[in-house]
Structure 1
Amino acid sequence: MIELQRRYTFKKTTLLKKVTNLDDYKNHAGIYILCLSAVRGYYVGQTAISLTKRIQQHWRKPETDFDRKYREADVTEIYVMPLDISTVYEQFGLDALEGDYIASIPDKFLLNCMAGGNTIIGVKSKEYNPADFRLPTEPLNDLKDRILCFQKEHDLA
């Protein structure tokens, strides 16, 4: 988690927020990370609508292998990166950010099955190379700048 927080710090502001009240993010799109300390793992997800609703959906409407295997009680911490999807190049930017997050987590701690975004590549397959999903510095900094501006505007920074 420390490495992800470093990667997603911009102008001395951490864009990845530790959740104390999930309802604070009901009106925000973004990236989220579910931390499961018992298995020392992380699950990365995204939503273009409501972080609160999407995270709760994991347990209210289990649809994925992750949802069926882990319960709400297994999650010890939640981190979110609220953003305005229109300022991060719509779904394309959201997919790129999710892929970058997934690629930034060492395989042994990753609970995701897919590489993220609109890809169908599994993270355990031979075709998956995390380096292919890591964002280069310049585009990543552009996205981080846009996210920081949004978070400051909405008192989330």
Structure 2
Amino acid sequence: MADPVFRTARAEDLDALVQLLADDALGATRECPSYPLPTSYNRAFAAIDADANNELIVAEQDGEIAGMLQLTYIPYLTYRGSWRALVEGVRVADSRRGQGLGRKLFEWAIERSRERGCRLIQLTTDKQRPDALRFYESLGFVASHEGLKRTLAN
């Protein structure tokens, strides 16, 4: 198996990315990987792609998209006006899990966040994903805060 290549997502990757997002029990309930994709995915991709403080990253391995995550860089007044990176939309293809790809993807994302001058990197994980929580803790992430979310009606 070849080493993964990490790169910025391209518009032609969108179908594969939505397939990755939908390829687990939680994602299957909230994503719509139909063809053609709902236009909302194209609008979201265009907004992410146009925003210098957002990077949608793919892990390409053996000629296919094997993983992904989104990094959002956020300026804060706290910590003396520092920046932080927010990690969202993390997925590794089911066939690639347990082979170290997720760890390599996160090591890349942590280094990229350092390059962007971030003081910290943060993420949330669904409480229904205890394996993901253990994985993030093995990377040095600490459950230091209680996170809350509220769904807004469209």
With the length of structure 1 as denominator, give the TM-score of the two structures. Answer: 0.31
Greater relative CO (CA pairs within 8 A, separation 6+): 1
Compare the two structures and name the one with the higher helix fraction. Answer: 1
Compare the two structures and name the one with the higher strand fraction. Answer: 2
With the length of structure 2 as denominator, give the TM-score of the two structures. Answer: 0.31
